[in-house]
Amino acid sequence: MDLAGSERAAPVGALDLGRSPPDEPVDLTLLLRRRSDQGPYPTLPGPPIDREEFAARYGLAPSDLAAVRAFAASAHLAETGVAIGPRRVQLRGTVATVEAAFATELHRWSGPGGTFRARSGPLGVPASLAGIVLGVFGADTRPQARPHFRWHPDPGPGDVAFAPTEVAAAYDFPAGATGAGATLGFVELGGGFTPQGLATYFGGLGLAPPAVAVVGVDGAQNAPGQSVDGPDGEVQLDLEVAGACAPGASLVAYFAPNTDQGFLDALTTAVHDTTHRPTIVSISWGSPEDQWTAQARSALNDACQDAAALGVTVLVAAGDQGADDGGPPGSLHVDFPASSPYALACGGTRLTLAPTRQEVVWNEEALGEGATGGGVSVEFARPDYQASAGVPPGPGGFVGRGVPDVAGNADPTTGYRVVVDGQSTVLGGTSAVAPLWAALLARCTEALGRPVGFVHPSLYAAAARAAFRDIVRGNNDGYSAGPGWDPCTGWGSPIGTALLTTLRGAAASGAGPAAPPPAP
């Protein structure tokens, strides 16, 4: 029988090189359903659940694991790993055994991202796994996501650039807090960094360089030296912005291949990590909603929901190609996973401080410098916390989740001074906004004495209006900014000290994430 949501189109703009060699190894991730015999899934927002308790109550069920193991044995697939909390079972086979087991045909393709393996049509699963297996990932290895940063190699006379610490000061990040006690995780789908490079950069800011823990996922590793405008730019932008603006926080980079399997495995590894235990996860990668299979969207959305239950805030860049997100001109698309209702979507502004302070929607598309993503999802319904935000109907009239939630400086012509692979440069994009907001929430975490967790209801409460500078000028070539929430910059850019006050008040009133119960 067909696996619901697994339907996939053939790659566009790539050359079919023919059938994959039958003995080529294939590593798979099977996502299983949550167990439901240990009580109902937690209501959000609520007290964060310990990762170990969460795995025992909502991870994969022993009976479901047994069913998958029986299937794998009959299909000549070897088990290579099991993760209870993330509900993942890793299997390894050959092209021939995977094609037979999942009723598909795998081809080699050549495209802009190199050569990769791909399929088209649905996957099949036996009736014994119906309702147990929610997704099968890894047979198709086409590039899935793009980094949302913009390189500005030739600054003009009217351009400016900021150290990340200057942007933090402009947004009134709470003084006296450094993010100590918070752990920031970063999902990275390529590239890397060197400790020496970070030491050079942070030394120039007068700060001690952060010690960044590295976690390899699905065989990926920290692999620097690729190029300023490639994945290295993304990785080092993330670490330098977050590390400069929250110098007391711990940083962890999760490296994975740029595939839907890699994305899912990296995010679920970070969310359920019982070693480093991130309190905030920052993601600066994504692609339009319609470029994902339904099973991938559902799986990543579930991972973000699990994060919310665990008290982990997931921040995602909203995209750098305006309202069409790189689709046909005049179309309207939002980026995923920013459009997950459980992710805090981060849009972009253009911030200038002299001769007077001005902040408008980031839109330099006419100059080839990009524009903030934003709009209305056609895949995720409008969440309750957005019921009074004034989100307009989406394409086709769908009542969808509005993107973004928040914003910050992203225009590369007012970008961030960073060092990538030893080269001083200026980068922008909503990729800078996600780690910027991660650093702000890390400072709030320290000041509050607890993780901020699933923060969305608190940010959409009426009392939170004082925590934002409303951006009312500009557009992203599909939507225009205006008073209140809009599909360009959400509620606007942060006033950090006021945000801390808002979160403190939300917790006191019971409207925000509560502190965990005392240990027995």
Establish whether the linkage from the previous residue to 404 is cis, with ω within 30° of 0. Answer: yes
The pLDDT tens digits of the residues spanning 210-245 come to 999 999 999 999 999 866 778 999 999 999 999 999
| CB neighbour burial string for 1-22, b if at least 16 within 10 angstroms, e if fewer | eebbbbebeebeebeeeeebee
| CB neighbour burial string for 470-479, b if at least 16 within 10 angstroms, e if fewer | bbbebbbbbb
Q: What is the dihedral of CA 276, 281, 286, 289, to 10 degrees?
A: 110
> What is the per-residue pLDDT for 189?
97
CA–CA gap between residue 38 and residue 27 (Å, rounded): 31
Whether 234 is a known active-site residue: answer: yes
Stretch among 14-18, 25-29, 223-227, 514-518 having the lowest mean pLDDT = 514-518
Whether 238 is a known active-site residue: answer: yes
The pLDDT tens digits of the residues spanning 82-139 come to 999 999 999 999 999 999 999 999 999 999 879 999 999 999 999 999 999 999 999 9
Secondary structure of 440-469 in HEC code, one letter for each residue: HHHHHHHHHCCCCCCCHHHHHCHHHHHHEE
Instruction: Say yes or no to pLDDT of 380 above 50.
Output: yes
- Of the pLDDT bands very low, low, confident and very high (cuts 50, 70, 90), residue 154 is confident
Tokens of 490: 């959400």
The pLDDT tens digits of the residues spanning 66-75 come to 999 999 999 9
CA–CA gap between residue 478 and residue 374 (Å, rounded): 9
CA–CA gap between residue 124 and residue 102 (Å, rounded): 5
Whether 23 is a known active-site residue: answer: no
- Of the pLDDT bands very low, low, confident and very high (cuts 50, 70, 90), residue 513 is low
Show the domains of the chain with their CATH numbers. Answer: 15-137 (no CATH), 146-509 (3.40.50.200)
Q: How many CB atoms lie within 10 A of CB 46?
A: 14
Question: CB of 338 within 8 A of CB of 287?
Answer: no
Question: What is the chain's Cα-based Rg?
Answer: 22
Instruction: Give first-to-last CA distance, the chain, whole Å.
Output: 48
Residue by residue, DSSP assigns 275-287 as: TT--SEEEE-EEE
CA–CA gap between residue 269 and residue 85 (Å, rounded): 9
Catalytic residue among 234, 325, 359, 421: 234
Instruction: Say yes or no to pLDDT of 262 above 60.
Output: yes
The pLDDT tens digits of the residues spanning 290-331 come to 999 999 999 999 999 999 999 999 999 999 999 999 999 889
Catalytic residue among 284, 431, 458, 493: 431
> What is the per-residue pLDDT for 188?
98
Residues forming a β-bridge with 283:
187, 316
Instruction: Say yes or no to pLDDT of 518 above 60.
Output: no
Instruction: Say yes or no to pLDDT of 514 above 50.
Output: no
> What is the per-residue pLDDT for 512?
56
Among candidate residues 109, 49, 68, 108, the one with its CA nearest the CA of residue 451: 49
pTM of structure: 0.96
Cα-flanking dihedrals φ and ψ of residue 441, to 5°?
-70, -30
With tokens 């053939």, the residue in question is: 10
Question: CB of 475 within 8 A of CB of 350?
Answer: no
Query: In the chain, helix, strand, coil percent, each to 5?
Result: 30, 25, 45
